[in-house]
Structure 1
Amino acid sequence: MTSAVATPTGATAPAVAALAYHDGEFVPLEQARVPVTTQALQYGTGVFEGIRAYAQADGGLAVFRGRDHYLRFLRSARTLRIDVGLDAEQLSEVTAELLRRIGASEDTYVRPLAYKRSLLPGTPPGVQLQGVSDALSINAFRMGSYTDRAGIRVAISSWRRPESGVLPVRAKVTGGYVNNALAVDEARAAGYDDAILLNSRGQVAEASTSNVFAVVRGRLVTPPLSADLLEGITRDTAVTLAADLLDVGTDFTDLGRDDLCNADEVFLTGTGAEIVPVTEIGGRPVGEGTPGPLTTALMTAYHKVVRGDDQRYRHWLQPVRPAAARPSATGGTT
């Protein structure tokens, strides 16, 4: 893998690996291309996942909750009539093999993408899901934590989260993320780090790529699935860790804008963002304007779990074992 390049903010740009899994084989990344006629490129008919692999306390590498991500990936694919061709276990093995082949040993981000490619013979042109071939690609690149554990500033977006009757919001559909991109662009143009979107009823849905939690009058609260949000894997992880390790239950109930503004703590959860405190919303401090005790405790617990430091959650980790040595032509091993 190539070296990361320092950015002006002091973070590091992701180092892209030299290989990808594309059309059923491992190929050089520059060969993992799609033509401009690709249906998903023109109509947004693709689905994706974001999965993290973490360097472990024992020196190895492990994929965090990969099977759960791939089960969601397959559900998303079914929504768009995409036949991925592999089940969750096979996708997990392909991912592990890709990580082995690129020599990943540091924190790595994995991006599977399944998409509609080209019209099958006899299919007329137009926007459609049937009569179109399917394709799968997976790439990976080195990526550590990129959010500020001291907290981020967010805006309430003027863009609304689509209703589930308008777009399948519980699937990670590529075309739907135009909504997220517009919200982030608006927030960053105003000097904020991220955006929180409300749904059509004016209740909190989610952030641009993260779920939203708040501590309201001593209770941990997150919006229910009926708020038109994506059912996050990290969201479920946070709920589980809060209950198991902190003896804190989670209320799945609607959150309004006022609830966020008056909350004692607010934090976001997502595979990319991990668990990150929100210390300011729309120019107003959250609580004391610093990460709260529950948020801090959850962040600490989460990072121990993903690093393999808490044996109770080893079932969430898929070790990426080194490739077995192969006999060489001279009788040694390679």
Structure 2
Amino acid sequence: MLYMNGEYIPAERGYISVRTHGFAYGTGVFEGIRGYWNTDQKQIYLFRLREHYERLLRSCKIMRISLPYTVESLIESSVELVRRNEQHQDVYLRPVAYKADEIIGVRLHGLKDDYILTSEPMGNYVEIGGLRCGVSSWRRIDDNAIPARAKICGSYVNAAFAKTEAIQNGFDEAIMLNHEGHVSEGSAENIFLFQNGELITPAPSENILLGITRDTVMQLAKNELGINVRERQIDRTELYTADEILLCGTGAQIAPVVEVDHNPVGTGAVGPIGQKLQDLYFDIVRGRNSKYQDWCTPVYAEVASQR
């Protein structure tokens, strides 16, 4: 089952025409939202649901997409969809808002806007026990070309080029530079370097997506590990001298990097900071850390009432 334009319908009815504007031109925006199954509590927790939908509506604003939904109604439909699908495992929700007219012509104005939400089982998107990365020859797309702070469907072609190049070159994942040659992101993940006792991450001006998992890592590093986090420009060679490197995102979760361009990161194994952040993260998203329960939206009411 999925949710489409205000209705819960069987998944096989959730289709669009091949002439749809969003399909032909990439004129849509999306989110990726994870839900984590807690076996002991028989509960799914949807992680930072509110922040994801706040970002979706900001992306819509950039793309001139108008939806008849509030953040609250989007949250409610997400919980209800997982319930109706009777899912009892880790899940991935993908809300997509897109230009729905069946016309030829590139523009954003004067077009109908539609919305689809799906929910399906999902495990790890990338290896979380140690990634081997290569710096991509493809540069991160600039905010003045396609805004990086919005999750625009068409812009992910940029990530696809980098990811395929990395895989075909024998790596697990890509690290992308911006047009000035500074470190920007992974193919679809934010990046952190740990060196000289602090976490360093590219600033918003480096053509990054303002990631929700990125914000989570920053808060956990500061509040739980007492580590200073600094946003600044990062040069490529710093990747080769860092003590630890982490990629993070809703799909990637928290994924330590153990090698860049065939150079070992630190000792060449998952480091202590990455391991601590990963352990904290998985406790929180599965609802096992009451301090961060506001980040976790329970799906099934019988457990929610006990919290």
Q: What TM-score do the two structures reach when normalised by structure 1?
A: 0.88
Structure 1 unpaired stretches of 5+: 1-18, 324-334
Kept in 1: contact 2:26–2:152 (CA 8 A): yes
SS in 2 for 1:235: helix
In the TM superposition, 1:7-46 aligns within 5 A as 19-46=1-28
In the TM superposition, 1:176-325 aligns within 5 A as 176-322=155-301
Shift of 1:144: 2.2
1:147 and 1:168 map into 2 onto residues whose CA distance is: 25
Shift of 1:321: 2.0
2:288 and 2:23 map into 1 onto residues whose CA distance is: 41
Structure 1 runs, 4 residues or longer, greater than 3 Å off:
none
User: What fraction of aligned residue pairs are identical, expressed as a percent?
Assistant: 42
Shift of 1:306: 0.5
Structure with the larger RCO, 1 or 2 (CA within 8 Å, 6+ apart): 2
Q: Deviations over 1:68-101 (max 9, x none)?
A: 0000000001111111211111101000000000
Shift of 1:125: 4.6
Structure 2 unpaired stretches of 5+: 303-307
Q: 2:66 aligns with which of 69, 77, 83?
A: 83
1:156 and 1:70 map into 2 onto residues whose CA distance is: 31
SS in 1 for 2:100: strand
Shift of 1:59: 2.1
2:166 and 2:104 map into 1 onto residues whose CA distance is: 38
Shift of 1:147: 3.1
Q: Which amino acid aligns with 2:6?
A: G
Q: Which amino acid aligns with 2:44?
A: L
Q: Deviations over 1:155-210 (max 9, x none)?
A: 10000011111111100000000000000010000111110110011001100111
Q: Deviations over 1:281-323 (max 9, x none)?
A: 1111101100111111100000111111111100001110249
Q: Number of matched residues?
A: 301
1:129 and 1:148 map into 2 onto residues whose CA distance is: 37
Which position in structure 1 is the counterpart of 2:152?
173
Shift of 1:42: 1.0
Query: Which structure has the larger Rg?
Result: 1
Kept in 2: contact 1:233–1:271 (CA 8 A): yes
C-alpha RMSD of the superposition:
1.2
